[in-house]
Amino acid sequence: MKNVAPTNVALMPFLGRWWNRFFTRVNVTIFVLLGLTYLSVNQYFAGRAKWTHGPLDVGDWLINYQGGFVRRGLTGQIFYWLTSNAHRDVGLLVMEFDALVLILLAVTVSYLVLGTKNSWVSWIVLSPVAFAFSTYDTPGGFRKENLLFLGLALAAVATRTKPLFSHLWLGVATLVFVLALFSWEPSAFSLPVAWWIIGQTPLSSASVRNWRIAWLGIGFVGFGLAVAFHGSPQVSSAICHSILSAHISTPAICTGGITYLSRPVSEEFRLLACSFPRHLWYIGWYLLALLPVVLSGWLKRYRKIAACVAVFNLVLFAVGTDYGRWIHILALSFALIWLTSPERLIITRQPNWGERIGLIAWISLWSAPWAGNPLLWRGLADTAYLNLSHPIGFYYPWFYNWLAAKVHHLIH
């Protein structure tokens, strides 16, 4: 017994130092973010029978140029080139691309979180309507705006490197932004976020000005072309025919995003007017999404850029009824600005247990539906409970059944 006590005494400080070193606020935030991304991809692929030919989610990615140049067609044209001769089911390829974009976004944001000293980082990054949105709402979380987020996040990496590498990262981010813009023209409404991020890079004033002009020029040209080539029934029909004749999907894919190309702007406004009264409930989710940036004081200190981003974001509420997605874009835009501002380096006190419990509740007890009835919300805690009896596709990897079958075959 006399030999045990000294060992325990020596072991406790070691365990304490190990705990304090690895279980920091930043590490836990990154771990939770990557874990939520894991759950997102699991849910998405577990429902691949539903999503592979989903007219809204996957179908929107398949808009192409086979009927002539049209808005939102760049990614669809690339997928068409990759699959039309191979007769491969393009839906699964789109899903794999969706997942890859989300994973790259999570990894990039994890890098941006490193070195943060402000305790509000967990509230900002892990908000149910920020980077973890896809975990709470699969239909709204695997959409084209993820490409935009990835482009902005890659631009944000340029704020953490030397000037030579900043140019490199901004170059890569610009290519992703072009892909996002010509695949989803509302990406242009996030130019204030790009303007801010580019201004935080360690580049000279002339370089910053040139990069800003380049992004603004690309944004205006891309959005202008989207307005000029809005789409028509003939274009939608040609796109559908190209997909079906190449045998890369089913007729179900032709509804949704592809059909919506033929909608006139007046029809969009009519649908918005019809849906508006019941969507007033989204105001609550909008205000809740602002809670951490208000309580932390960030909104007051950065009110000019915050107001600019909010005004551009509000345009989305006037052109479409996917209000949960618009709130998601706002929260994520603020998060990227927060992660590239001096705010992240402000040293704050360690949160007490009450604040930790509040954070857990904030992360797990609410979410904003991507569209439709704003009262049909479900938090992570509810989702996790409902999946206790069906762990495959949420807790277990989506390829669990396939892997188990392979292992059983090898053993026997």
- Map residue 145 onto helix, strand or coil: helix
User: What is the pLDDT averaged over residues 17-37?
Assistant: 82
* Cβ atoms 144, 60 nearer than 8 A: yes
Q: Is the pTM of this model over 0.75?
A: yes
Domain ranges of the chain: 4-411
Least confident of 6-15, 139-148, 243-252, 305-314: 6-15
* Cβ atoms 200, 159 nearer than 8 A: yes
- Please tell me which residue, 97 or 402, carries the higher pLDDT value: 97
Dmax over Cα atoms in the chain, in whole Å? 88
- Mean pLDDT over the full length of the chain: 89
Q: 342-370 b/e with 16+ CB inside 10 Å = b?
A: ebbebeeeebeeeeeeebeebbbebbbbb
Rounded CA-CA distance 147/150 in Å is: 5
pLDDT 10s digits, 127-176: 999 998 998 888 889 999 999 999 999 999 999 999 999 999 999 999 99
Tokens matching residue 29: 């935030």
Please report how many Cα atoms fall inside a 13 Å half-sphere around the Cα of residue 97, on the Cβ side.
19
pLDDT of residue 410: 66
Nearest to 97 by CA among 41, 170, 43, 135: 41
Q: How far is CA 284 from CA 239, 279, 357, in A?
A: 39, 10, 22
Radius of gyration of the chain (CA): 23
pLDDT 10s digits, 255-268: 888 998 888 877 77
User: What is the pLDDT averaged over residues 272-281?
Assistant: 79
* Cβ atoms 108, 157 nearer than 8 A: yes
Rounded CA-CA distance 412/407 in Å is: 9
* Cβ atoms 72, 184 nearer than 8 A: yes
CB-based contacts of 153, cutoff 8 Å, min separation 6: 105, 108, 109, 112, 336
Rounded CA-CA distance 119/116 in Å is: 8
Rounded CA-CA distance 410/332 in Å is: 45
pLDDT 10s digits, 280-335: 889 999 999 999 999 999 999 999 999 999 999 999 998 888 999 999 999 999 99
User: What is the pLDDT averaged over residues 366-374?
Assistant: 89
